[in-house]
Amino acid sequence: MKLKNKTILITGGSSGIGLELARRLIALGNTVIITGRDSEKLHAAKRVLPQVHAIQSDVSDAGAIAALHAQVTAQFPALNVLINNAGIMRNLDLNDTRHGVADITREIDINLSGPLRMVQQFLPHLKAQKDAAIINVSSGLAFVPFASSPVYSATKAALHSYSQALRVQLRGSSVAVIELAPPGTETPLFRDEFKEEVKDMKAMDVKVLAEHAIKGIEAGKLEIRPGLSNVLKLMSRLAPEFMLNQLAKSFRPSRM
> For residue range 26-78, what is the model confidence (pLDDT) as tens digits?
999 999 999 999 999 999 999 999 999 999 999 999 999 999 999 999 999 99
**5, 62, 169, 216, 228 from 15: Cα distances, Å:** 23, 22, 32, 21, 22
For residues 128 and 44, give the distance between their C-alpha atoms in angstroms, rounded to a whole number: 34
Tell me what percent of the residues of the chain surpass a pLDDT of 70.
86
Question: Catalytic positions, please?
Answer: 152
Mean pLDDT across 77-96? 93
Cβ neighbour number for residue 143 with a 10 Å cutoff = 24
Instruction: Give the torsion sign (CA, 14, 18, 20, 26).
Output: negative
Complete domains list, the chain, with CATH: 7-248 (3.40.50.720)
Would you call 76 exposed, middle or buried from its count of C-beta atoms within 10 A (0-12, 13-18, 19+)?
middle
pTM: 0.90
The H or E element containing residue 84 is strand 81-84
> For residue range 196-245, what is the model confidence (pLDDT) as tens digits?
555 556 788 899 999 999 999 999 999 999 777 766 777 667 656 766 66
SS3 34: strand
One-character DSSP codes across 167-208: HHHTTTSSEEEEEE---SB--HHHHHHTTTTTTT--PBPHHH
> For residue range 122-145, what is the model confidence (pLDDT) as tens digits?
999 999 999 999 999 999 888 878
Report which of 249, 201, 207, 251 is spatially closest to residue 228, judged by C-alpha positions.
201
**Beta bridge partner(s), residue 128:** none
**106, 208, 247 from 251: Cα distances, Å:** 21, 27, 8
